Structure 1
């Protein structure tokens, strides 16, 4: 987790320089930076693009899953035993909140899966 925390700090500074796009929810730079540091090795954590690992769903696909709520997403991230073997890591409560908040900014009313 120490390497992730160091990377998050640097990425948060870079993300803070980005400007918001019209019609897109305000992105918390710290949540985006954590997603980049902890998850982007396998998942696409950006609004568009395919995941580096074809078996890892893109975050916009997850965020726009019918029936997904803040509560169900939070529960899934907290319950580490639900993770696939490749995701064998632990998230602190504040990290879960940051990731959930960021992931929910990827919701779009006009969303269409990339495949």
Structure 2
């Protein structure tokens, strides 16, 4: 027979195993999408579905749906050129960084599954 304490502990353990799935932040701005395509589309798939032209470059939805990704961590990564692989060593203006972050975050999905 299960006691109330046993049920409470079981509920706590099960709730601790759950993760919060990212949800879309907002509708994508066409200018943000155009920048993503122009600056990044040569290597990355910047659309909601599809594989990247460069197999070493993660798809934008895969980036957007990474566990623990936040606006701040993504912004920091894009601003800090030392984190870039050599192929990505290019300069982004602050407003371009924010546009890319805004666009990438629109690709978050509760039901996201990697394309491979």
Same fold (TM over 0.5): yes
Q: CA deviation at 1:24?
A: 9.0
Partner of 1:55: 56
- State the secondary structure of the residue aligned to 1:30: helix
**Structure 1: runs of 5 or more not aligned:** 1-22
CA distance in 2, matches of 1:85, 1:113: 25
Alignment correspondent of 2:43:
42
| Secondary structure in structure 2 of the residue aligned to 1:74 | helix
What does 1:22-101 align with in structure 2 at a 5 Å threshold?
25-101=26-102
Give the structure, 1 or 2, with the largest relative contact order (CA under 8 Å, sep 6 or more).
2
* Runs of 4+ residues over 6 Å off in structure 1: none
In structure 2, C-alpha distance between the alignment counterparts of 1:24 and 1:62, rounded to whole Å: 14
Deviation track 1:54-107 (CA, whole Å, cap 9, x = no partner) reads: 000000000000000000000000001100000010000000000000000000
Which structure 2 residue ranges, 5 or more long, are not aligned? 1-23
CA deviation profile, 1:10-69 (whole Å, cap 9, x unmatched): xxxxxxxxxxxxx99411111100001000000000000000000000000000000000
Structure index of larger Rg: 2
State how far apart, in whole Å, the 1-side matches of 2:109 and 2:90 are.
29
Distance 1:107 1:113 in 2: 12
The aligned residue for residue 106 of structure 1 is 107
TM-score by length of 1: 0.78
**How far apart are the structure 2 equivalents of 1:42 and 1:76?**
17
Aligned length: 93
CA RMSD of aligned residues (A): 1.4
